[in-house]
Amino acid sequence: MTISGRMTTIQTIRDDFSLLDEWEDRYRYVIELGEALPPFPDTERTPANKVPGCVSQVWLTTEQGLGADPVISFKGDSDAHIVRGLVAIMLALFSERPASEIRETDAEATLKGLGLDEHLSPQRANGLRSMVKRIKRDADAALKLTA
């Protein structure tokens, strides 16, 4: 995922957020992050990939590497612009990381650091928690498969 020709990492998102003083600018930036997500295939919009607990529709797919602590890649999408941006933030935080690191990552602290925790509706916050729960469940499963 790239914005303005550069790879979007969680650190890039943190840096960009620090430059944006107004919440409305951050809101637009989150939407831009969602727009930068690669296309999500219609064939992956299945009940198995749908994240329960989200008001908007959210889909996540998981690809697991090999080894005792496999690197896990996630792809995702949503039918709502702002939620799609939140999916992009979660992918920047968790995707392409070892399963053990995913398990140890504190998503709530990251969201708080970005100031998102105070600007999300309770429904969106619950949806984000559902996404994180799904991602961590997949990391747990990857570690158990290799144990």
Q: Which residues are catalytic?
A: 54
Q: Rounded to whole angstroms, how far apart are CA atoms 60 and 77?
A: 7
Burial label, 110 (beta-carbon count in 10 A; 0-12, 13-18, 19+) = buried
CA dihedral over 106, 112, 116, 121, signed as positive or negative: positive
Count of beta carbons in the 10 Å neighbourhood of residue 87: 29
- Tell me the H-state helices in 50-121: 81-94, 99-104, 107-114
